[in-house]
Chain A
Amino acid sequence: MAEMNMLHAINDALAIAMTADERMVVFGEDVGHFGGVFRATSGLQEKFGRDRCFNTPLTEQGIAGFANGLASNGMTAVAEIQFADYIFPAFDQIVNETAKFRYRSGNQFNVGGLTFRTPYGGGIAGGHYHSQSPEAYFTQTPGLKVVIPRNPEQAKGLLLASIRDPNPVIFFEPKRLYRASVGEVPAGDFEIEIGNADVVKTGSDITLLGWGAQMEILEKAASMAEIDGISCEIIDLRTLSPWDIETVATSVKKTGRLLINHEAPLTGGFAGEIAATIQEECFLHLESPISRVCGLDTPYPLILEKEYMPDELKTYEAIKASVNF
């Protein structure tokens, strides 16, 4: 075990994966000698050479298309999209190509060796082009896995599993935690299985569900609610696609209440999908309507970021409203 921040954990995971798999390459804008704008790929070019960690021209659709080609021809491709806000030029390559490569060919070809890493989310005063949470655009596309870690240990274990998963994965990294989140991380090679939610804290009155950087918000809100005598169960979904319905449903059957929190706008967000499924699975167990604490239906703001965010206070109020319904 060693204490490190999320960036170091990601960098460590990449180096371990590259050492174990000589077919693995890491590429994207500024990821080479410079080590990426957040330094996630720092030192990899020096360690593994320019053939295995390299800059690409500034073209997200090109990076995604190139990644598809590499992965279809036997390589393990880890592509960085510098900000999730800039993933949209690559949307066609990801949605129409990456996600359908296996299906459309009758399993003759696949790009399972492909992982996209991309920093997402707000909290860095980045305005609407450095703060978005576009996960729901991808969870609606069959053929992709979507994974989001909450801390350094999770980032390392989930990233190693994502790189080695036989399916294409979009790995969203909560950028406001890159340096802010510091914790003990196991040394060496380990994986955290994709597709399993993690019950972070057990409780009896309400289930709080989130992912990524919002897990800290849920923990703060739960501490506030505990003072009022409300016992919260907290679950980190970790994998949004395919998501762990069973763990969430088991929890909600126990607590009778569910609150989902995400940074992305409310309408069309992934919380809506969870709410629909859980009401179907747990209808007779529910004591109150499923609560969604999410971003507003606006572009991500700049100076009023604090007001936009589904923070601990909004979450705390929603917990009380649910329990007192």
Chain B
Amino acid sequence: MSNAPLNNETVHRVSFLDKASLHIPILKLLQADGTTYENAVMPVIDKALAERIHDTCVFTRVLDERMLSAQRQGRISFYMTCTGEEASIIGSTAALDDGDVILAQYREHASLRYRGFTTEQFMNQMFSNEKDLGKGRQMPIHYGSNELNYQTISSPLATQIPQATGVAHAFKLQGKRNVAICYFGEGAASEGDFHAGLNMAAVLKSPTIFFCRNNGYAISTPTEEQFAGNGIASRGVGYGMHTIRVDGNDMLAVLAATQQARAHALEYNAPVLIEAMTYRLGAHSSSDDPSGYRSKEEEAKWEQHDPVKRFKLWMINKDWLNEADDAAQYEKYREEVLNAVKVAEKVPLPHIDGLITDVLDKPTPVLEKQLAELKQHIKKYPKSYPKSAGRI
């Protein structure tokens, strides 16, 4: 039946709907002091899962702190932190099966760590050395790992959204019990690919979890200059998909919402939209300075909602962690990251022959000729091409 409305209710005088017509509550399970709300319906979580989440939080905090400072020292060219958004990122990834494919935007390195990306692998990518899985072809933080089902980051925003629909659809056609999860910010949700990807997933029935990190800013642009509707969640309902808004700084709420989203996606071959309300505590990137567009007071207010601290207090309340062990873990990772930096920056850079591989499955004769000519040129002017001249 084409174009049939959901119900046949009619009215006989003009009456508009507005953004307040749709009531969207926020799921909250964990309070600032680490205790849960009285009626909180808890996610499935045991001590081992909590420890894996906590370990990822600590590592991510340390990595972000150390690598931003390495960027400031000029050791790497670029960096992005996810400080303040750890619960959104880690809580959602922790709800997945390791076979579920992650299509991230770029601020989700904590997901990759949760899956098992090693400290050395992070460093090899950021230093673009010859051990980098991406062969030194992309800016720092554009990680990817086939082994860990984490598709390689691409800088253009929102392109991963319709791709996630396709990845999930492939799982459905192959009869596999896996989903794709797609991360993006509220700014990326303004791109056409957002509309395309969500609409296609709903219509084609692809088991996709669309996870929006609504962190308040797209570089400098605040949400009130990004959209006028009822957040991003209202759109999910418009596309006809199950939708939920959660406190993105509440690890347990994010975990619970994503666990149930995954179950729904698999049971009904249907997409789900999760809007996580959070805050980007750091700058957009190492090239950005937020003091030009937001106040210290605003940042200080959000620091009170630190998701990592809240989850730590919950674990301490459960007697699954103590302050001394927590502090020791930070210390361990500080040393590990520092040592890994020292190692990675000494690993040789990728060889020039890799310049022409992987454009297609094998280099064309034209590409081989171009490379040969380039090598001849470099031999003539070795001092001008120090990264390659010594190894031709």
Interface residues, chain A, CB within 8 Å of chain B?
23, 25, 51-52, 54, 56-57, 59, 61-62, 64-75, 77, 89, 92-93, 96-97, 100-110, 112, 142-143, 145, 166-167, 242, 245
Q: Please state if B199 and A69 are interface contacts (CB–CB under 8 Å).
A: no
Shortest distance from the beta carbon of B162 to any chain A beta carbon, whole Å: 3
Q: In the A-B complex, list the 3 residue pairs whose CB atoms are closest, starting with the nearest.
A: A69-B166, A65-B162, A62-B196
Q: Which of A57, A65, A74, A92 has the most CB of B within 10 A?
A: A65
Does B220 count as interface, using CB distance less than 8 angstroms? Answer: no
Which of B4-12, B109-117, B169-177, B341-349 has 4 or more CB atoms under 8 Å from chain A?
B169-177
Q: CB within 8 Å of A: which of B354-374?
A: 357-361, 364-366
Shortest distance from the beta carbon of B172 to any chain A beta carbon, whole Å: 8
Which of B152-160, B286-294, B305-313 has 4 or more CB atoms under 8 Å from chain A?
B152-160
CA distance A284 to B54 in the complex (A): 71
Q: For A73, give its contact among B134, B171, B357 (CB under 8 Å).
A: B171
Task: Point out the residues of chain A lying under 8 angstroms from B200, CB to CB.
Answer: 56-57, 59, 62, 66
Task: Point out the residues of chain B lying under 8 angstroms from A109, CB to CB.
Answer: 144, 146, 151-152
Which of B88-96, B135-143, B209-217 has 4 or more CB atoms under 8 Å from chain A?
B135-143
Does B388 count as interface, using CB distance less than 8 angstroms? Answer: no
Task: Point out the residues of chain B lying under 8 angstroms from A101, CB to CB.
Answer: 152
Q: Please state if B165 and A108 are interface contacts (CB–CB under 8 Å).
A: no
23 contacts between A and B (CB under 8 A): A57-B199, A59-B192, A59-B200, A61-B196, A62-B200, A66-B163, A66-B166, A66-B200, A69-B166, A69-B170, A72-B167, A75-B166, A89-B192, A92-B156, A102-B359, A105-B151, A105-B152, A106-B132, A107-B135, A107-B357, A108-B144, A167-B360, A242-B366
Given contacts A69-B169, A102-B361, contact A62 B193 (CB under 8 A): yes
Q: For A68, give its contact among B163, B195, B366 (CB under 8 Å).
A: B163
Given contacts A61-B196, A108-B146, contact A70 B170 (CB under 8 A): yes
Count of CB-CB pairs between chains A and B under 8 Å:
156
Q: Which of B144, B165, B169, B171 has the most CB of A within 10 A?
A: B169
Of chain A, the residue at the smallest CB distance from B180 is: A69
Q: Please state if A143 and B152 are interface contacts (CB–CB under 8 Å).
A: no
Does B204 count as interface, using CB distance less than 8 angstroms? Answer: yes
Task: Point out the residues of chain A lying under 8 angstroms from B360, CB to CB.
Answer: 102, 143, 145, 167, 242
Q: Please state if B197 and A65 are interface contacts (CB–CB under 8 Å).
A: yes
Shortest distance from the beta carbon of A112 to any chain B beta carbon, whole Å: 6
Task: Point out the residues of chain A lying under 8 angstroms from B337, CB to CB.
Answer: none
Q: Please state if B358 and A103 are interface contacts (CB–CB under 8 Å).
A: yes
Q: For A74, give its contact among B154, B170, B366 (CB under 8 Å).
A: B170
Given contacts A69-B162, A242-B364, contact A106 B171 (CB under 8 A): no
CA distance A97 to B156 in the complex (A): 9
Q: Please state if A106 and B193 are interface contacts (CB–CB under 8 Å).
A: no
